[in-house]
Structure 1
Amino acid sequence: MSLKRIARHLVQHHWRARQIFPQAVLDRIEQTIRQGEATHSGQVRFVVEGALDGRPLFRNQPARERALDVFSHLRIWDTAHNNGVLIYLLLADRDVEIIADRGIDAKVGAAGWESICRAMEAEFASGQFERGVIAGIAAVSSELAKHFPPQGPHANELPDAPVVM
């Protein structure tokens, strides 16, 4: 367990996520998800967590493991075509993880998701959080549109609103 990481998470806590992602930005992200989902039959969720606290922090939980927990908690795996995708940002670590249900993950693969994550992190490194998230959502939607095009009207199985933890 790194003391530097603990300090970063304690200092950057949850207020930082609200500062970087005010309601107007969250509204634009939600609109981007909604527009993307019109091009495919998948489901996309965006979650930003300012920092880990308590048990996850002190047991040094990696962002990927935390993203898996969030994926399960939000029941993103519970879609009709197994094509739900979580874009998870752990702000204190500036680490993006994409967790995809088995239906879409089998088609895109780890390298495809990793490429999207690294592009988002490059935008974040230059302070362009909104642009990075919107580009990431567009890239995920593009993959979903290739593999799960819309087939008539489909239900919106998961909320489009971003989650700030």
Structure 2
Amino acid sequence: MGIARLARHLVSEGAARRRFPDSTLDVIQRAIAAGEAWHKGQVCFAIEGALSFGELLRGRSARERAQEVFAHLRVWDTEHNSGVLIYVLVADHAIEIVADRGIAARVPESEWQAVCAQLRERFGNGEFESGAVAAVEAVSDILAHHYPADGTPVANELPDRPVRL
């Protein structure tokens, strides 16, 4: 564990709430709901300010934490195996997308990484709300291409509300 990373995590605990206030979560939630009208996937958005001291001592990476959050939020537990998690770890300036096995088999990792890169750039410019919405829309476009809605009602299997961890 590097001292710089530890320091970032110690001072970033409240950053998630400052950068993603309730009003921004409302906007992201509406974007998720709108996108899910066009596909059979499920999109989750999770924001974490910092990792715990124990996780830092263990050297937990943002990717490992994203996979843990994916499991904890049960994003894997959808009818079409088409759940996608957008995970933001504010202290590390890290963005990870974790896709369930059904959609991961159809979408190359490079597409998810392109969405992450665009989101990282937007966040770097301080565009947290509009960047998050653009990422949700990009993920929804990918899901609509591979799991388009067919006019039959689709259950909303996962909450649309973004989660602050």
Paired AA for residue 82 in structure 1: N
Q: Deviations over 1:57-80 (max 9, x none)?
A: 221211000000000011100000
Mapped partners of 1:9, 1:161: distance in 2: 25
Runs of 4+ in 1 over 4 A off after TM superposition: none
Matched, 1:155 2:155: yes
Counting only pairs closer than 5 Å after superposition, residues 9-28 of structure 1 correspond to structure 2 as: 9-13=9-13, 15-28=14-27
Mapped partners of 1:129, 1:25: distance in 2: 8
User: Unaligned stretches of 5+ in structure 2?
Assistant: none
**Secondary structure of residue in 2 paired with 1:61:** coil
| Correspondence for 1:110 | 109
Counting only pairs closer than 5 Å after superposition, residues 25-40 of structure 1 correspond to structure 2 as: 25-40=24-39
Q: Deviations over 1:5-45 (max 9, x none)?
A: 001000111x1111111111100000000000001010000
Mapped partners of 1:107, 1:130: distance in 2: 28
| Correspondence for 2:42 | 43
Report the CA distance between 1:54 and its aligned residue. Answer: 2.8
Between 147-156 and 41-50, report the one with greater CA deviation. Answer: 147-156
| Correspondence for 1:5 | 5
| Correspondence for 1:69 | 68
Paired AA for residue 163 in structure 2: V
Report the CA distance between 1:140 and its aligned residue. Answer: 0.3
Counting only pairs closer than 5 Å after superposition, residues 78-117 of structure 1 correspond to structure 2 as: 78-117=77-116
Report the CA distance between 1:94 and its aligned residue. Answer: 1.1
Paired AA for residue 8 in structure 1: R
Mapped partners of 1:36, 1:104: distance in 2: 16
Mapped partners of 1:83, 1:39: distance in 2: 13
Between 81-90 and 150-159, report the one with greater CA deviation. Answer: 150-159
Report the CA distance between 1:102 and its aligned residue. Answer: 0.9
Give % identity: 52
Mapped partners of 2:54, 2:35: distance in 1: 35
Paired AA for residue 114 in structure 2: S
| Correspondence for 2:145 | 146
**Secondary structure of residue in 1 paired with 2:51:** coil
| TM-score between both structures, scaled by the size of structure 1 | 0.97
Report the CA distance between 1:56 and its aligned residue. Answer: 1.1
Mapped partners of 2:124, 2:111: distance in 1: 20
Mapped partners of 2:53, 2:4: distance in 1: 16
| TM-score between both structures, scaled by the size of structure 2 | 0.97
Paired AA for residue 68 in structure 2: D
Paired AA for residue 129 in structure 2: E
Mapped partners of 2:126, 2:23: distance in 1: 17
| Correspondence for 1:53 | 52
Mapped partners of 2:33, 2:56: distance in 1: 33
